[in-house]
Amino acid sequence: MAKHVCPWWLGYLLVNPMRRWFQNPETILSPYVAEGMTVLDIGPGMGFFTIPAARMVGDTGRVIAVDIQEKMLKSLEKRAEKAGVAGRIVTRLCEPNSLGISEPIDLCLAFNVVHEVPDPRTLFSQIRGILKPTGKLFLAEPGGWHVSEEDFKVTLALAAAVGLKLIAEPKIRRSRSALLALD
């Protein structure tokens, strides 16, 4: 599945304010993120979802942002500082096949990243291992030609194979999305 990794400089396009018109992060996340939660954002780019999630978890929660690209994380840190939520976000550089996370997670965000991962089944297994019993995985992949409907079905089958069941299919413009929970 992993064809390539989005270059760090393309992260500036992903945080473009115009994106909010068709993918408003607060609207997308608000049904799933609450104060006090621990949220894991995998492949956060420069924080399009990370920073709004940090506002939502409040002072008693936190967002852990993991990425394989240090430049993405450094840009996210600068943006979080400017937004006043840096104290709620922990960034971690990870390896392509290891999240390096052991903390229990309430919600895992995997937006536009699974198709770039060398071994999605291993990723899903790691996520399953850190989700709290009531935890959820919010998965979204780019729609259209980038990730076909068939490829997305394969992705969901890989998640199901490690014990993550589909519980909802939130509608996100220009994306294929799924909410998964422990089986």
Pairing between strand 105-111 and 38-42? Answer: parallel
What is the reported pLDDT for 145?
73
- Residue 3 in any domain: the answer is no
- Residue 140 in any domain: the answer is yes
What is the reported pLDDT for 1?
40
Residues 6+ away with beta carbon under 8 Å from 69: 5, 8
- Residue 90 in any domain: the answer is yes
Per-residue pLDDT band for 173 (boundaries 50, 70, 90) equals: confident
Q: Which residue has the higher pLDDT, 1 or 119?
A: 119
Indicate the DSSP class of residue 172.
-
Q: What is the domain-level CATH number for residue 92?
A: 3.40.50.150
Indicate the DSSP class of residue 103.
S
How far, in Å, CA of 167 to CA of 71, rounded? Answer: 35
Residues 100-151 pLDDT 10s? 999 999 999 999 899 989 999 999 999 999 999 999 999 999 987 779 999 9
Enclosing domain of residue 173 = 8-182
Mean pLDDT over the full length of the chain: 91
59-73 CB burial, b ≥16 within 10 A, e <16: eebbbbbbbbbeebb
- Residue 144 in any domain: the answer is yes
Residues 44-76 pLDDT 10s? 988 989 999 999 999 999 999 999 989 989 999
Residues 6+ away with beta carbon under 8 Å from 129: none
What is the reported pLDDT for 2?
44
Which of 51-55, 68-72, 77-81, 162-166 has the weakest average pLDDT? 68-72
Cβ atoms of residues 72 and 11 within 8 Å: yes
Per-residue pLDDT band for 91 (boundaries 50, 70, 90) equals: very high
Q: Which residue has the higher pLDDT, 15 or 173?
A: 173
Q: At CA 160, angle to CA 6 and CA 36, rounded to 5?
A: 70
- Residue 1 in any domain: the answer is no
Domains held by the chain: number? 1
Indicate the DSSP class of residue 114.
G
| CA distances to 8, 91, 105, 141 from 133, in Å | 34, 24, 9, 24
- Residue 20 in any domain: the answer is yes
